[in-house]
Chains A and B, each alone.
Chain A
Amino acid sequence: EVQLVESGGGLVQPGRSLRLSCAASGFTFDDYAMHWVRQAPGKGLEWVSGISWNSDSIAYADSVKGRFTISRDNAKNSLYLQMNSLRAEDTAFYYCAKVYCSTTSCFDAFDVWGQGTMVTVSS
């Protein structure tokens, strides 16, 4: 079964740091680009960051650029998000997501999502 399981969320004070992890199973992890997407309570989806299969290409949303760092360890089938200088507006469910590939091509879309991990930034 293809599965993504996030961990590392919790309650953190403004200005502090948190590291999220995403454990992948059921597919060849290093064949796929991976992304983080977040969703504030009662709000819509917001793309956060993405990383290519070999970490050569990395992108961030303007809202997190300079504060968040995405990385992956293909040997451990794991994706990470290091979040520094956290703000109240970073409070959200954080999902990791796998890029969708058909039999012939890969697309800028996400076909497998984890269950999410909640990050709450509050004093």
Chain B
Amino acid sequence: AQKITQTQPGMFVQEKEAVTLDCTYDTSDPSYGLFWYKQPSSGEMIFLIYQGSYDQQNATEGRYSLNFQKARKSANLVISASQLGDSAMYFCAMGGNQFYFGTGTSLTVIP
């Protein structure tokens, strides 16, 4: 069975500061992908970043980076220089035989 755990229901961050959103996963598959999606209040799902299980280096996409620690089975999302538009729900997900999502973290950026 695969499982994604996000333990932070809500987070606050000051504008221009960095924030880390936690994600741990559990799988017995040797090959899998880890993903982060953003869901603003409008409801659409926006892909942010991807990390493959065999990738040696942490993924980065602009202000987003994924802190991948395979031995600890964690895939935390780091958002640098937070902006007001970053306020949204953030979902960690894992793809492999199936594609599962965590329960999400609601991020609020404070001016």
A and B found bound together: no
Task: Give the B-binding residues of A (Cβ under 8 A).
Answer: none
